[in-house]
Structure 1
Amino acid sequence: MVHALTLLAALSAAGASVTASPLGPPKPPKQFVSGNDVNPFVGRKLFANPKWATKLEATYNSFNSKGDRTNANIVRKVQKTGTFVWVTSRSGLSEIDDAIRAARTEQQRTGQKQVVGLVLYNLPDRDCSAGESAGELSSKNDGLRIYKEEFVKPYARKLKDAKDLTFAVVLEPDSLGNAVTNMGVEFCKQAVPVYREGIAFAIKELQLENVGLYIDAAHGGWLGWADNLPLAAKEFATVLSLANANKAPNARNATIRGFSTNVSNYNPYLVTNETRPAYTEWSPSYDESHYASSLSPYLTELGLPAHFIIDQGRVALPGAREEWGEWCNVEPAGFGHTPTADQGVLKNENVDAIVWVKPGGESDGQCGLAGAPRAGAWFGGYVEMLVKNADASVKA
């Protein structure tokens, strides 16, 4: 999954600032907010995927062979940290079954309720603006029907049959970000109607009591500019409206819990105004917490829920990037703050949780660094860097 940023018109707002609220009262009803409006991360532990932990054994052995016990011990802590499981193809649907089995085992062993993080990522014409993570389906080859019938429907059935677990599902990273800023790319222009219909269908299918849905909202460096904030909210409302089209007169609205940000990117959760990077000048969304706060009033105005989960699986170190558009295997970077729903850490009531959506060590693509493997492949040297530069919360 990649973040090719074509910030069309976004940077034209130099000197613009976002107001505290885009419009005054009265507020519309929360038409797309779930009646069961509960943060799924409170009182639960984000499921730690044993498959990812197994991949990290090589990292542990590498540090251990060098006599580096400090970083070897950090690896052991990272292996127990919750991450999301990516489901990116029809054959990959078995990843859900494996995660359910492992989460049930852990829940029974520890007595700690688990929230299983999943990414639903297989739209036709996926990754229209870059191509590093292009998927298996094409809209020209019946891809939308296949997506609905052979991917989304079985995906939903598996979650419905696991009522003893809670799931947090991130829907289609980057797709609607492209709808907001990349309509000048012909492939994106053709793909966006498919994206909208596909995500709307997934929302309808996943209206389950044990599932919290989070539409991907890109990140602050992409959609967080003052000009883009209202456009992003409008795009999300368009998809939710489509999910509710043609429903029975008395049927309950299809709803979501909120939005995911910074998925597979490197932005920090919170920085001080004095330490913000120069490339964030004029942006109200210079870190992901501020992005959540900047976007929230526009969401609320359209009846959308202003709840966020923010990926901190990897965070760029200060000075690592010269611009937000650097998204691929950024160096240097480290594991970010450990997943938490503690408001004492979050300090933002719009944020449900800091999470690790991108499993650190999986390459962003054959870009960014010489010798980087294809997207999703294991990048051993890179994960060692993430360990060395890990946030203090990981090392504690």
Structure 2
Amino acid sequence: MRSAPLASALALGALVPSSGAVPTAIVSRDSSNPFVGRKLSINHSYAASLEATFDSFIEEGDELNARKTRTVQGLGTFQWAPAISLLASLDAAISAARAEQNQGGVPQVVGLVLYNLPDRDCSAGESAGELSGEDGLRRYKNEYVDGWAERLSRASDLTFAVVVEPDAVGNMVTNQGVPLCAEAKPIYEEGIAYAISKLQLPNVNLYLDASHGGWLGWPDNLVLEAAQQFKDIVDRAGNNATIRGFSTNVSNYNPFKATVREDYTEWSPSWDEDHYTSSLAPYLEELDLPTRFIVDQSRVHLPGAREEWGEWCNVAPAGLGAPQKTDLENPYIDSLVWVKPPGESDGRCGLEGAPAAGQWFNEYVQMLVENAHEDVQPADSLERVTKSWWPQI
């Protein structure tokens, strides 16, 4: 997925009346922060990919960063299921989290990304999906979303945090001048509303994606339009459907708290994600929407790395951001998290030799580890910590 260039002057398409997504029963949900007292589950597939990074540091004689890589292998990262054929990855994530929770005694919050709308990534195409049009919407509902609901409903012993459709609302708000995005908007609205309605489960916390400060954080009209779009989608889900809150900065590079204000943020109140969430929250509150956020900090650009916010692909230099963290001064934040597995390429762009979107970019991962946030401390040993119930890698 990608972030769109700023297009605040684009007109919004007309709102599409509800066609009646099929809701599940109203449920009672715990209103507490799902990340407090729980560990974000390890993405074991991602941990396995990091073995190549570890080996590269060892070959270079860089023990310090090899040990930092060992630390990263034990940190929690969201897991993506971006195709119908990849729904089995949810089963693997559930099994691994359940085993660690039951045998290790550490309560888990399983971070997942629901990302397979028809004609997704309509403004760019680097992460275009498998589905398209009305037929794609039917498959999205019946095969993809219903598959999610079936699996998560059977895992009532686990707590889930689900990011819903990164970039979709951003494209609905700012990219209606792109023909494919204009055609996709009613499909996006119906598809997301259906997903919200089907995942009204007491152990599932839904975070509707809110892009990032450089996309939707500009005053006043764009923030208001974004908030209204969120409201329309949640209302369309029907049956008193609710979400926990919103995700920001997914797969992007904005710091939560910028140490240097970049020149390209001039005139924006949302010059980092701390300010963006604080700017957006009052608009959400006016519409009776929740004002809770998770912020992706898996990759954070270093000062001066970009000349404009529109640079979104394999930005360098960058480093791993702060991992899971709930004790923050911003009262709207549930947690800082790693949503985008840091190391998967954004596409064949940004840096020479970058692989296709989603493929492992080992040289880039090495840079991220070398520039990691201070909370990513090197492990005490070069040996990988393993437990009997972890999948073999």
TM over 0.5: yes
Q: 1:261 aligns with which of 226, 241, 248?
A: 248
Q: 1:159 aligns with which of 152, 161, 166?
A: 152
1:357 aligns with 2:339: yes
Deviation of 1:366 (Å): 0.9
CA distance in structure 1 between the aligned counterparts of 2:346 and 2:249, rounded to whole angstroms: 14
Q: 2:355 aligns with which of 364, 373, 391?
A: 373
Q: 2:73 aligns with which of 70, 74, 79?
A: 79
1:271 aligns with 2:264: no
What is the aligned partner in structure 2 of residue 122 from structure 1? 116
What is the aligned partner in structure 2 of residue 106 from structure 1? 100
Which structure 2 residues correspond to residues 130-209 of structure 1 after superposition, within 5 A? Answer: 130-139=124-133, 142-209=135-202
3-state SS of 1:266 partner: coil
1:228 aligns with 2:210: no
Which structure 2 residues correspond to residues 295-334 of structure 1 after superposition, within 5 A? Answer: 295-334=280-319
Deviations 1:322-380 (A, max 9, x none): 010000000111000111112xxx21110000000000110001111111111100001
1:2 aligns with 2:6: no
CA distance in structure 1 between the aligned counterparts of 2:168 and 2:182, rounded to whole angstroms: 11
Deviation of 1:67 (Å): 1.2
What is the aligned partner in structure 2 of residue 20 from structure 1? none
Contact 1:43 1:113 in 2 (8 A): yes
Distance 1:267 1:174, change over 3 A: same
Deviation of 1:34 (Å): 7.8
Deviations 1:65-91 (A, max 9, x none): 211100000000000110000010000
Deviations 1:86-111 (A, max 9, x none): 01000000010000111111112321
Over the matched positions of the two proteins, sequence identity in percent amounts to 61
CA distance in structure 2 between the aligned counterparts of 1:295 and 1:33, rounded to whole angstroms: 27
What is the aligned partner in structure 2 of residue 18 from structure 1? none
3-state SS of 2:242 partner: coil
Contact 1:87 1:95 in 2 (8 A): yes
3-state SS of 2:87 partner: helix
Distance 1:214 1:34, change over 3 A: farther
Deviation of 1:50 (Å): 1.2
Deviation of 1:9 (Å): 2.4
How many residues are aligned here?
A: 362
Contact 2:28 2:202 in 1 (8 A): no
What is the aligned partner in structure 1 of residue 18 from structure 2? none
CA distance in structure 1 between the aligned counterparts of 2:290 and 2:28, rounded to whole angstroms: 8
3-state SS of 2:335 partner: strand
Distance 1:65 1:96, change over 3 A: same
Contact 1:220 1:286 in 2 (8 A): yes
CA distance in structure 2 between the aligned counterparts of 1:86 and 1:262, rounded to whole angstroms: 16
The alignment's TM-score, normalised by the length of structure 2, stands at 0.90
CA distance in structure 2 between the aligned counterparts of 1:35 and 1:47, rounded to whole angstroms: 21
What is the aligned partner in structure 1 of residue 367 from structure 2? 385
What is the aligned partner in structure 2 of residue 285 from structure 1? 270
Contact 1:221 1:324 in 2 (8 A): yes
Structure 2, gaps ≥5 residues long? 11-25, 379-393
CA distance in structure 2 between the aligned counterparts of 1:392 and 1:150, rounded to whole angstroms: 42
What is the aligned partner in structure 1 of residue 21 from structure 2? none
Contact 2:248 2:294 in 1 (8 A): yes
CA distance in structure 1 between the aligned counterparts of 2:29 and 2:93, rounded to whole angstroms: 27
Contact 2:4 2:215 in 1 (8 A): no
Greater alpha carbon shift after TM alignment, 61-70 vs 303-312: 61-70
The alignment's TM-score, normalised by the length of structure 1, stands at 0.89
Q: 1:337 aligns with which of 319, 322, 331?
A: 322
CA distance in structure 1 between the aligned counterparts of 2:223 and 2:293, rounded to whole angstroms: 15
Distance 1:193 1:341, change over 3 A: same
User: What amino acid does structure 2 have at the position aligned with 1:389?
Assistant: N
User: What amino acid does structure 2 have at the position aligned with 1:146?
Assistant: R
Structure 1, gaps ≥5 residues long? 11-31, 248-252
Contact 2:27 2:201 in 1 (8 A): no
CA distance in structure 2 between the aligned counterparts of 1:162 and 1:36, rounded to whole angstroms: 16
3-state SS of 1:188 partner: helix
CA distance in structure 2 between the aligned counterparts of 1:217 and 1:72, rounded to whole angstroms: 35
Contact 1:224 1:283 in 2 (8 A): yes
CA distance in structure 2 between the aligned counterparts of 1:312 and 1:8, rounded to whole angstroms: 25
3-state SS of 1:56 partner: helix
CA distance in structure 1 between the aligned counterparts of 2:258 and 2:57, rounded to whole angstroms: 31
What is the aligned partner in structure 2 of residue 88 from structure 1? 82
CA distance in structure 1 between the aligned counterparts of 2:9 and 2:302, rounded to whole angstroms: 28
1:215 aligns with 2:215: no
3-state SS of 1:189 partner: helix
